[in-house]
Amino acid sequence: MNFPAHQGSGPSKRCRTISTVYLNGDYVPIEEAKVSVNDRGFLFADAIYEATPIYAGTPFLLERHLARTADGLHAIAIEYDVEGLRSVCAELITRNDLVEAEFAVFYYQITRGAAPRTHAFPKDPVAPTVYAFAKTLRRMTPTEWDRGFAAITVPDQRWGRANIKTTGLLPNVLAQQAAVEAGVEDAIFVREGMVLEGTHNNVFAVIAGTLVTAPATHRILHGVTRAFVLELAAELDIGVEERPFSLPELYAADEVFFTGTTTEVRPTVTVDGDRIASGQPGPVARALYAKYVERVGRPND
List active site positions: 165
The answer for 88, left when phi > 0, alpha when psi is -120 to 50, beta otherwise, is alpha
Count the alpha carbons within 13 Å of 198 in the hemisphere toward its beta carbon.
31
CB contact at 8 A, 206 and 225: no
Collapsing DSSP to helix, strand or coil, 125 comes out as coil
CB contact at 8 A, 65 and 165: no
Pairwise CA distance, residues 257 & 284, whole Å: 9
* Consecutive H or E run containing 258: strand 255-260
The answer for 247, left when phi > 0, alpha when psi is -120 to 50, beta otherwise, is alpha
φ/ψ (deg, to 5) at 37: -70, -15
In the chain, % helix, strand, coil (3-state, to 5) comes to 30, 30, 45
